[in-house]
C-alpha cells in the first residue's frame, strides 16, 4: 500500500510521466492566487459530493492544499471511500513552490 504522503519531487515525477492526477482541495480564491497547471479544483467542502462522480478509484491521486493539512484529511477520507491510491502532497503547494517550481506564487 502507498504511503499517505508523497514528496513534491515524487509527485512531480508522477505528473511528468502522466501517472497521477492532481486534486487541489483549496478554496477558489487560493486556486486563483496560485495553482499547479493541470490540477483539478475540488474545494474540500465539495469532495464528498463530487469524488465518486469525478474521480476514478483506481487512479493515482495526488491531493494538495496550502500546507498539507487539508489534503491529508481529504486523503484519509478518500482512502476510506475506496480510493486506495490517494496521497497527500507533503507540505502542500507551499513546498511545491519552494522545491519544484518557484514560478508558483507563495502566499
The catalytic position among 65, 74, 78, 86 is 65
- Is 65 one of the annotated active-site residues of the chain? yes
Residue 93 φ/ψ, nearest 5 degrees: -65, -25
Collect all residues with Cβ–Cβ distance below 8 Å to 74 and sequence separation of at least 6: 23, 25, 44, 47, 63, 65, 86, 88
Distance of CA 47 to the CA centre of its chain: 12
Q: Could you give the residue numbers annotated as active site?
A: 65
Amino acid at each position: 500500500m502507498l504511503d499517505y504522503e508523497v514528496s513534491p519531487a515524487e509527485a512531480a515525477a508522477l505528473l511528468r510521466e502522466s501517472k497521477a492526477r492532481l486534486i487541489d482541495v483549496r478554496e477558489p480564491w487560493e486556486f486563483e492566487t496560485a495553482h499547479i497547471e493541470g490540477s483539478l479544483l475540488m474545494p474540500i467542502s465539495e469532495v464528498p459530493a463530487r469524488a465518486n462522480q469525478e474521480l476514478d478509484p483506481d487512479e493515482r491521486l495526488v491531493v494538495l492544499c496550502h500546507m498539507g493539512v487539508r489534503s491529508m484529511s481529504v486523503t484519509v477520507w478518500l482512502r476510506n471511500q475506496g480510493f486506495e491510491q490517494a496521497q497527500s502532497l507533503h507540505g502542500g503547494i507551499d513546498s511545491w513552490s519552494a522545491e519544484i517550481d518557484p514560478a508558483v506564487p507563495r502566499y
